[in-house]
Amino acid sequence: MKREKIVSVLARTEPARGLTVCGWIRTRRDGKDVSFLEINDGSSLKNLQIVVDPGAVGQDLLRRLTTGASVRAVGDLVPSLGAGQRLELRTREVELLGAADPESYPLQKKRHGFEFLRTIAHLRPRTNTFGAVMRVRGELSFAVHEFFQSRGFVPMHTPIITASDCEGAGEMFTVTSLPPDRLAGPDPFAEDFFGKRAYLTVSGQLNAEAAATALAEVYTFGPTFRAENSNTARHLAEFWMIEPEMAFCDIHDDMDLAEAFMKHLVARVLERCADDLAFLDQWVDKTLLATLRNTLESDFVRLDYTEAVEILKRSGRAFEFPVEWGHDLQSEHERHLTEQHFGRPVILTAYPKEIKSFYMRVNDDGRTVAAMDVLVPRIGEIIGGSQREERYDVLTARMAELGLPLEPYSWYLDLLRFGSVPHAGFGMGFERMVMFATGMTNIRDVIPFPRYPGHAEF
RNA sequence: UCCGCAGUAGCUCAGCCGGUAGAGCAGGCGGCUGUUAACCGCCGGGUCGGGGGUUCGAGUCCCUCCUGCGGAGCCA
């Protein structure tokens, strides 16, 4: 079906004859001798006004051109007689592609709550807000690949199914082909498809590290699964994660990359999604554009965990949870630092080793590790990463300390036995980045079909 | 999973000390106008989340379950 996208029609400066557009009707307004259709095809936040002569199309057809119906229209782009738009499409031919019964079509030409829209996730992209969020999400996704590949990173497709239950990043979903009645007994998975218990991945990091010891700079961008019973506006059971991994790289290079990466993503959406961001700034979060510009223009604060604890203790604020060296920072602490104290993104480093993962490189002080978390206003932690421990003896000693068996990690330890290099990487929760870039406050509203406890609809 | 709040028309909500349910928007019909959050008039629309209890009488009080939201934990 030959057509011109509405974004392109709206970008025209001159009248034109014989244009074909397709889209969904957002609203219709009737005059006595004229009707106006606003149609949207998802290529832009903005609608195209189509002027219809009721006599020419007929009352029967006109009556069925209701909110939600899909149409194809052929007409001439002419200067508008009305005030709201520069050009409009005066049609001589309107074809109803698919009607939408106004009695039962759930979307009205009025504002709906996000909770209601979540119950009709298959229709919500037809709203202004979700259309904008999905376009921004798409640009961010593109910008992720653009950033890494322009820097020579090789994209890695790490496994979705994994048999190592040692990734340690959270509760895992079991993958099985066994019927439920065969899941009893001491080791039912010995008879299963993989001959052992398999899971959905919680992180591609360890696999990416293997690739980085050959290709030097790699990244993953794929689905990730956590079976935690998390019921919050910041967690999903299925989400997308970006994990770069670099050989010949220390914690400072890692922080530099994280900051450049964030700024690249923000710059791209500011540049390519101006209409959508202006809409979101007006209706969803009035501080959105200011926050994004601030992110782009400011240097991220870099701070040791120990200094952060001092700042929080000196802040005089009564936190719900007291701040104490050796404890992980709470959401309220992170937000105080990035929102109140500094007012820009903050990268925290040198965390106590007790609260971080086994693979993080132990610092010379022996009590902290080369971890880094990027904290941003409103979201909190958006990136978590570290320099990895590349010293075989130090890592195995640390694993012994934590009571981790070496055998399941033997392939990972091989990376340190053969040509080990200083290396580092981080993980970014893609949906958290979409939240940051759109001002949306619930992570379930920045992914098309959210999966979370009790919900796998659509 | 824990704490708190909520569930009333298609949507967003009001409903006081218990006395048999209301508004705006949406929808239908009619009118008006190159309209644009269109406007004016009329009309239809409800197992008050489910179950149980107290009471002469429950949307309202009590118990319980379900669902949602906010916060927390876990994390990305």
A84: nt with nearest C1' to CA? B36
Tell me if residue A448 falls in helix, strand or coil.
coil
The tokens for A164 are 């190592």
Q: Write down the pLDDT at residue A109.
A: 76
Question: What global pTM score does this model have?
Answer: 0.94
| Protein CB footprint (7 Å) on chain B nucleotides | 1-2, 10-13, 25-29, 31-38, 67-76
Of A425, A418, A427, A393, nearest to A214 by C-alpha is A418
Q: Is the CB of A110 under 7 A from strand B?
A: yes
A 295-324, residues with C-beta < 7 Å of strand B: 320-321
Q: How far apart are CA A58 and CA A96, in angstroms?
A: 12
Q: Is the CB of A28 under 7 A from strand B?
A: no
* Owner of token pair 């949306």: A440
Q: How far apart are CA A216 and CA A287, in angstroms?
A: 39
Q: Is the CB of A103 under 7 A from strand B?
A: yes
Q: How far is the CA of A130 from the C1' of B14 (A)?
A: 29
Q: Write down the pLDDT at residue A166.
A: 60
The tokens for A340 are 């109140």
Q: Is the CB of A59 under 7 A from strand B?
A: no
pLDDT reading at A318 higher than 80: no
Q: How far apart are CA A141 and CA A431, in angstroms?
A: 10
Q: How far is the CA of A119 from the C1' of B8 (A)?
A: 19
A118: nt with nearest C1' to CA? B68
The tokens for A436 are 């940051």
* Owner of token pair 């095809």: A41
* Owner of token pair 């904290």: A375
Q: Write down the pLDDT at residue A165.
A: 66
pLDDT tens digits for range A353-362: 988 889 999 9
Q: Is the CB of A104 under 7 A from strand B?
A: no
b/e burial code for range A265-298 (CB count within 10 A of at least 16 → b) = bbbbbbebbeebbebbbeebbeebbebbeebeee
CB distance A372 to A349 below 8 Å: yes
A 149-208, residues with C-beta < 7 Å of strand B: 169-170, 203
Q: Write down the pLDDT at residue A402.
A: 86
The tokens for A30 are 């009737």
Considering Cα of A217, then A223, then A226, then A232, what sign does the dihedral take? positive
pLDDT reading at A215 higher than 70: yes
pLDDT reading at A29 higher than 70: yes
Domains of chain A: residue spans and CATH: 6-108 (2.40.50.140), 124-445 (3.30.930.10)
Mean pLDDT value of segment A406-414:
91
Among A271-285, A307-321, A322-336, the range of highest mean pLDDT: A271-285
Q: Is the CB of A233 under 7 A from strand B?
A: yes
Amino acid at A167: E
Find residue A36's DSSP bridge partners.
A29, A51
Q: Write down the pLDDT at residue A170.
A: 72
Of A147, A154, A150, nearest to A213 by C-alpha is A154
pLDDT tens digits for range A137-156: 999 999 999 999 999 999 99
A116: nt with nearest C1' to CA? B11
pLDDT tens digits for range A41-59: 999 999 999 999 888 888 8
Q: How far is the CA of A47 from the C1' of B37 (A)?
A: 15
pLDDT reading at A169 higher than 70: no
Considering Cα of A307, then A308, then A311, then A316, what sign does the dihedral take? negative
Q: Is the ipTM of this complex over 0.90?
A: no
Q: Write down the pLDDT at residue A418.
A: 96
CB distance A6 to A21 below 8 Å: yes
pLDDT tens digits for range A183-204: 888 889 999 999 999 999 999 9
Amino acid at A78: V
Q: What DSSP string runs through A94-144?
A: EEEEE---TTT----SS---HHHHHTTTTTGGGSHHHHHHHHHHHHHHHHH
Q: Write down the pLDDT at residue A7.
A: 94
Q: How confident is the model at residue A103 (pLDDT cuts 50, 70, 90)?
A: confident
Residue ranges of E strands in A201-294: 217-225, 238-247
Q: How far is the CA of A320 from the C1' of B72 (A)?
A: 10
Q: How far is the CA of A36 from the C1' of B34 (A)?
A: 9
Mean pLDDT of chain A: 91
